[in-house]
Structures are given as C-alpha cells and as structure tokens.
Amino acid sequence: MRIDVITLFPRSVDEALSESIIGRARGEGFLKLSFVNPRDFSGDRRGTADDKPYGGGTGMVMMAEPVYQALKKVKQKGSFTVLLTPKGRPFTQKLALSLAKKKRLIFICGHYEGTDERISPLADLELSVGDYVLTGGEPAAAVVIDAVTRLIPGVLKKADATVNETFTGSLLEAPHYTRPALWRGKKVPAVLLGGNHALIDNWRKTKALELTKKYRPDLLKRLR
C-alpha cells in the first residue's frame, strides 16, 4: 500500500510510524509512506500556507490553494483521499478494514483551525478519530495509518491475529495473561492453564461478554 500524507509537519507523522510493527512494515515494503508539505506550494518566500478566517475569530485556517496543489501532486487514478476533521465520520474498525483494501490512500491533515471548507469536496471521505479536538490532523493520521497498516496481509506474521480482537466483532476482547502464573499474589485463571481449548474458548466468550456489559454496554445494543 502507498500512503501520501499532506501535512505542514511531516516529521510528527513520520516519527510516530517509524517503530515496532509499522516501522517493520515500511522496511519490508508492505507500506510506502510519503509526505508532501503545502508550504512548498505557497505563493511567497515565507511559505505561507495559512491565513486569518473571514468573519473574524481566533486562530488561523489552512489556505485552499496550497492544499489543493499538494493534493494535485500526489493524486492519481485510484487514489482514495481522506480529510481528517472533527466533523468527519467516526473512525471504526469496520472503516479500518475498508481502507486496508485500498491500494493508495491520501490523508489531508488540517492544522490550527482546520482547512478552508472548499477543500472538503475534494475528499472521498471526511474522518474523525473521536469527539475531541487535537492541535492538528497529524496525530489522527498516525492513528488511522497504524490501524489500517496492521490489517494489510503479511504485516502481522500470524494470519489470524486480527480475527478475534476488540471491535472486530461486536464485543470487547477477553482478558490476556502471560508468565508467571502467579504474580504478586494474583493467579492466572486456572482454565487457561489446563489446555482444554473448548473450555478456554467458552471462558473467553463469557469474559468478553462480561467486559462489554461492564465497559461498553452500547456495543451490546448493536449486538441485539
């Protein structure tokens, strides 16, 4: 997969996606990540890419033309463009699975007060990572790219690693334990040590249901 990120601060996304599984995916060629800075398409020597909003108000807004030119540079036939914005569609695991099937993605990172509204129609999808406000779209882009990249076949070495996990189905994932079996007086549930896979599977389903009921009862409404 190829992903182009349009951002005023490429390093903030690049460094966040340079370690662990995503860093390895880049090194092994599963993900090609490139960056384009709207400042490179500014009409002045200062590289101005933002301006005061019409009608007044605090903060600055990213100008349409530099973003448009940056998008024009990287957009190709088959590209799918995502604009990261608080007013966008909520990001979910289902959306991550859909985006993981794309061959080429473009992410537009707003900053300050966001992008000129006239950029919105150029995006195939407006996306939000939650009901809160960030300093810019860069952290959101890193979150989405991480979630999408791990779903690319071959990135996770175990093919079934993404099957039985939180939000893949309708329930939260069951608890996990590792060695030692006794840690500071707390024991690993005996069923996990017995080797009976049918009992373990049943225990995990029960615990998943209990956790979902306790922490995310809204998910149970969807399950019903």
The reported pTM is 0.90
Residue labelled with tokens 């880049």 = 26
The pLDDT tens digits for 132-171 are 999 999 999 999 999 999 999 999 988 666 665 666 677 9
Q: How much helix, strand and coil, in percent to the nearest 5, is found in the chain?
A: 40, 20, 45
Q: Total domain count for the chain?
A: 2
Per-residue confidence band for 221, with pLDDT thresholds at 50, 70 and 90: confident
Q: How many residues would you count in the chain?
A: 224
Mean pLDDT of 30-40: 98
* Residue 213 lies in domain: 164-224
Mean pLDDT of 69-97: 97
Domain boundary among 108, 125, 149: 149
155 inside domain: no
Same domain, 96 and 39: yes
pLDDT of residue 166: 62
Residue 34's identity, in one-letter code, is S
β-pair type (104-109, 186-187): unpaired
Domain boundary among 149, 176, 198: 149
